[in-house]
Structure 1
Amino acid sequence: MKTAVFSARPYDRRYLGETNARDHSRDDFEFAYFDVGLDASTVGLASGFDAVCAFVNDRLDAPVLRALHALGVRAVLLRCAGFNNVDVAAAEQLGLFVARVPAYSPEAVAEHALALIMTLNRQTHRAYNRVREGNFMLDGLLGRTLHGRTVGIVGTGKIGLATARIMKGLGCAVLGFDPYPSPAFAEIGEAVALDELLTCADIVSLHCPLTPETHHLINEESLARMKPGAMLVNTSRGGLVNTDAVVRALKSRHLGHLAIDVYEQESALFFQDLSGEIIDDDLFQRLMTFPNVLVTGHQGFFTVEALQEICSITLGNLADFANGVECSNRVTTA
């Protein structure tokens, strides 16, 4: 079973290799790693492979899937939870097996959301740079005590629940919105309508998948309903947020802080070193000029434990495909 791994980084090679050697040494799995992302221009690299392993910003639309099928590929393994980058209907028509990693170390992403909140609230990133330059003044570093604040969790799945538990542990009041509410959330906070959450929360943290219904969930209208000076945090998918609207809300001083680990156009930026390049994304560059904006490059998942779990589940999905058994993580339109 030969698998082409796209958007491969050194840590992918390490943890996929270690997991394969530990758990699937008898399954005759063979991997080839490609640094480039999977799209129409690189799909030819999959020639001669039985499966491809893709990541969040790889493009698996109908033309790419048809090309993969023509090359003899029969399985698409997503080493991520989201599958908004896959034309699932086209995959089904072609008879392609598609599987994902539905949940992996939700605490990893939840803890990163907390890190973003605390860093931006207490300005520790700015304080770090000041002290290194010998500047010990506190002006401009004033934060707010999180204890007693209201946090709104949009999406109360496993990651949303983990984030809610952390914020409750800090003494925050927790509100949650989810069209499919989790019974476990009732023990942590209060389930409310989205409008009420936006109106009442000092911090709004997004933990929902990107679907046609949630695309630009945060837009000009929803931002206007948020409390003046509130903080918006997104560690889910960039497309949940209309970046143009966010920039306008920041410029008007209505949105107090923005912390994002994802970005609408991140596929052209994230997971690569552009430090010696000119970034021609004007909207991203505008975001970076705000002192009350904190951006990280999609690293919420990036812990040892999460990588181990992602690789273990991904290879388990591959084993299900190879053995022709039912896979609980298979992605379908049903």
Structure 2
Amino acid sequence: MNSTTETQNNKIAFFSTQSYDKTFFKRYIPDFNIDITFLESQLNSKTVNLIKDETIVCVFVNDIVNAAVIELLAKKNIKIIALRCAGFNNVDLEAAKKNNIKVCRVPAYSPHAVAEHAMAMILTLDRKTHKAYNRVREQNFSLNGLLGFDLYGKTVGIIGTGNIGKVFAKIVKGFGCKILAFDVIIDSELENEGVVYTALDTIFKQADIISLHCPLNTNTKHLINKETLALMKDSVMIINTSRGALINTSDVIEALKTIKVGYLGIDVYEQEEKLFFKDHSGDIIQDDEIQRLMSFPNVLVTAHQAFFTNEALTQIALTTLGNIESLLLKDSIDNKLALLA
């Protein structure tokens, strides 16, 4: 950062800090002349008071940045809300505009990281490698209960073909699957590669595997529910590496009990802010739904780790700090997808 910004307040209150955040952001802080106060607490109405003289907050997916919190941030003289993630459903953008607070995000870091994790979940659920690993370690070499299926020739439905969905489609294509897709914007490159864009109902009815790669908004909340589940093939596989609230958890639990859903892989969960990114190994978890999900032998839960690669974390740190620098220097960001308000 050049000297023209050195008279400005370049201090960031960094909420929901994990050890890896410190590792990657500290690596690049010297290049941006920015001072960061790392806070382990989630941002919410009760933790706003942790902000001292900072004028920037950096937040993650489970921080609460609703209208009430933004009003408090404005009183604290916060000028920038910097999301170190792509999703922004936890931020009230209208309230930010009303209070003249800029909001930026990381629109694309490593789509390969999330897309590859989605495929890893499919292969794990299909071939039961997680069970085989534990079984062999106990000197049990039986194959009973490990029967899988060929991915080749199966129909995969992809809901959302943005950066991540597009990479996922190309990965799936390599397995020889038929690919159906739904998005409000049709990607002509994917069409040319054989991806068939169709209606959501068609995907629900025809897909053997459904992978969610769409944002969470009023149109997509609980996209997977009792009605849409009823349209699906028996023993369908559902993968969600996007946002937890795309799935109505209680409805999918009922579908698992009847084997309507034969496999479920989730890296996100609707109530994850109370659980994920923390060690609860010594706690009694009060969330009955996550406990019920984890009781199913055909459910795989990972704790929002799809983004968790060296390449992705490097890009997240560089883009987040670059966004802040741009806003401090010229009150704008060249990448328009990064500036939300």
- Asked if TM exceeds 0.5, the reply is yes
Kindly tell me the number of residue pairs found equivalent between the two proteins.
328
Out of 145, 169, 172, which is 2:174 matched to? Answer: 169
The answer on whether the counterparts of 2:156 and 2:207 sit within 8 Å (CA) in structure 1 is yes
Out of 2, 14, 24, which is 1:15 matched to? Answer: 24
Secondary structure at the aligned position of 1:176 is classed as strand
Q: Once the two structures are aligned, what percentage of the paired residues are identical?
A: 50
The aligned residue for residue 5 of structure 2 is none
* C-alpha separation in 2, matches of 1:112 and 1:331: 27
The answer on whether the counterparts of 2:267 and 2:301 sit within 8 Å (CA) in structure 1 is yes
The aligned residue for residue 223 of structure 2 is 217
The aligned residue for residue 147 of structure 1 is 152
The answer on whether the counterparts of 2:14 and 2:37 sit within 8 Å (CA) in structure 1 is yes
TM-score (norm 1): 0.97
Secondary structure at the aligned position of 2:89 is classed as coil
**1:192, distance to aligned residue in structure 2 (A):** 0.8
The aligned residue for residue 5 of structure 1 is 14
Alignment of 1:192-207 (within 5 A): 192-207=198-213
| Greater Cα shift, 42-51 or 322-331 | 322-331
Unmatched 5+ stretches in structure 2: 1-9
The aligned residue for residue 88 of structure 1 is 93
The aligned residue for residue 234 of structure 2 is 228
The aligned residue for residue 273 of structure 2 is 267
Out of 103, 118, 121, which is 2:108 matched to? Answer: 103
The answer on whether the counterparts of 1:60 and 1:85 sit within 8 Å (CA) in structure 2 is yes
Structure 2 residue 64 is the aligned partner of structure 1 residue 59: yes
The aligned residue for residue 277 of structure 1 is 283
**1:156, distance to aligned residue in structure 2 (A):** 0.6
Deviations 1:47-75 (A, max 9, x none): 21010000000000011111111011111
The aligned residue for residue 299 of structure 1 is 305
**1:324, distance to aligned residue in structure 2 (A):** 2.5
* C-alpha separation in 1, matches of 2:82 and 2:51: 13
* C-alpha separation in 2, matches of 1:187 and 1:6: 43
| Greater Cα shift, 85-94 or 317-326 | 317-326
The aligned residue for residue 31 of structure 1 is 36
* C-alpha separation in 1, matches of 2:199 and 2:77: 47
The aligned residue for residue 324 of structure 2 is 318
The aligned residue for residue 3 of structure 2 is none
Deviations 1:267-319 (A, max 9, x none): 00000000010100001100011000000000000000000001111011100
**1:183, distance to aligned residue in structure 2 (A):** 2.1
TM-score (norm 2): 0.95
* C-alpha separation in 2, matches of 1:289 and 1:274: 17
* C-alpha separation in 1, matches of 2:271 and 2:83: 20
* C-alpha separation in 1, matches of 2:226 and 2:185: 25
Deviations 1:133-173 (A, max 9, x none): 11111111100011111111000101000000000001111
The answer on whether the counterparts of 1:56 and 1:82 sit within 8 Å (CA) in structure 2 is yes
**1:187, distance to aligned residue in structure 2 (A):** 2.5
The answer on whether the counterparts of 1:153 and 1:204 sit within 8 Å (CA) in structure 2 is yes
* C-alpha separation in 1, matches of 2:228 and 2:173: 24
Structure 2 residue 57 is the aligned partner of structure 1 residue 45: no
Secondary structure at the aligned position of 1:95 is classed as coil
Over aligned residue pairs, what C-alpha RMSD do you find?
A: 0.8
The answer on whether the counterparts of 2:160 and 2:213 sit within 8 Å (CA) in structure 1 is yes
* C-alpha separation in 2, matches of 1:211 and 1:42: 26
* C-alpha separation in 1, matches of 2:260 and 2:93: 39
* C-alpha separation in 2, matches of 1:123 and 1:13: 35
**1:238, distance to aligned residue in structure 2 (A):** 0.2
Secondary structure at the aligned position of 1:118 is classed as helix
The amino acid of 1:16's aligned partner reads F
* C-alpha separation in 1, matches of 2:69 and 2:310: 31
* C-alpha separation in 2, matches of 1:267 and 1:4: 19
The aligned residue for residue 339 of structure 2 is 330
The amino acid of 1:211's aligned partner reads N
The aligned residue for residue 128 of structure 1 is 133
* C-alpha separation in 2, matches of 1:229 and 1:216: 20
The aligned residue for residue 187 of structure 2 is 182
* C-alpha separation in 1, matches of 2:187 and 2:46: 41
The aligned residue for residue 308 of structure 1 is 314
* C-alpha separation in 1, matches of 2:127 and 2:103: 43
The amino acid of 1:72's aligned partner reads N
